Amino acid sequence: MSEGLEEPRLRLGDDVDEERREDVRAPEAEGEGEGAEETAPEPDWEPAPSDEELPAERVELPAEEDELPRLHAGEHSAGELRIPEGYGVIEGEPAGARRSVGVVVGRFNGALTGELLTTALDELERAGVGREAVTVVPVPGAFELPLAAMALAKTRRYSCIVALGAIVRGETPHFDYIASEAASGLQLAGLETGVPVAFGVLTVENEQQARERIGKAAEAVRSALEMADVFSQLRAAAGAPAQ
């Protein structure tokens, strides 16, 4: 290549580099002379950190949220139901006089359901229900409880039904299906027959939880007797014979 062609290229490259250097120096030059605009001073404060940047102990809820009552999931609220004066009230008593009771109990997990049955029978005796007024119907498991409860209720010989069983969670979804069907089936038995059916079926994670809840059988007995008394009062108010 000839020298005449190379020389302009060298000068062109030098010019371009010079322009770039001038562009880089331009901001400094603009602030050097008199009358030049002063750049805004950097603020002497820092923006407040976000909640994610704050330590856990410094993150605070808004006042209105912090004042909300704290609810503890899984706990029952203690206290009595208060009904204002001036209203008609029909309230049952868990009394067993003149009551006949059917008890359906699953044999599956018999070590647990046997304790439930003993607890329920003791509570029936304390409530004044004689042994001759109690009929116990054992069934294979919790899944059969609704069918037995329905059959007993349809005889119209019993004031109420108490269903007892123990369903312990295993490694498969079987637990969920059985617990759901037992609960809905027992409720359906009461709705279709008009005879109170109390749910005394334990649905627990392990045997220890079940043993801690054996007293639920006594609660089921009291619930059944109370609802039987309510139904009796309703029938009496309507002029129907008491059951």
Q: Is residue 95 part of a domain?
A: no
Q: Is residue 79 part of a domain?
A: no
Q: Is residue 42 part of a domain?
A: no
Domain count, the chain: 1
Q: Is residue 130 part of a domain?
A: yes
At 216, the amino acid letter reads K
Q: Is residue 60 part of a domain?
A: no
Residue, of 3 and 149, whose pLDDT is higher: 149
Host domain of residue 161: 117-237
On whether the CB atoms of residues 224 and 186 are closer than 8 A, the answer is: no
Where do we find the tokens 């949220």?
65
Q: Is residue 128 part of a domain?
A: yes
Q: What amino acid positions are annotated as catalytic residues?
A: 174
Q: Find the CATH number of the domain harbouring 227.
A: 3.40.50.960
Mean pLDDT (whole number) for 150-162: 97
Structure tokens at 157: 């010989």
Nearest by Cα to 146 from 192, 205, 206, 110? 192
Q: Is residue 20 part of a domain?
A: no
In this prediction, residue 203 has a pLDDT band, given cuts at 50, 70 and 90, of very high
In 10 A of CB 134, how many CB atoms? 19
On whether the CB atoms of residues 231 and 243 are closer than 8 A, the answer is: yes
Q: Is residue 127 part of a domain?
A: yes
d(CA 204, CA 217): 14
In 10 A of CB 203, how many CB atoms? 21
Poorest-pLDDT segment among 54-68, 72-86, 106-120, 197-211? 54-68
E runs forming strands in the chain: 101-106, 134-139, 160-168, 197-204
d(CA 102, CA 72): 37
Structure tokens at 164: 């007892």
In this prediction, residue 97 has a pLDDT band, given cuts at 50, 70 and 90, of confident
Question: Does this model's pTM top 0.85?
Answer: no
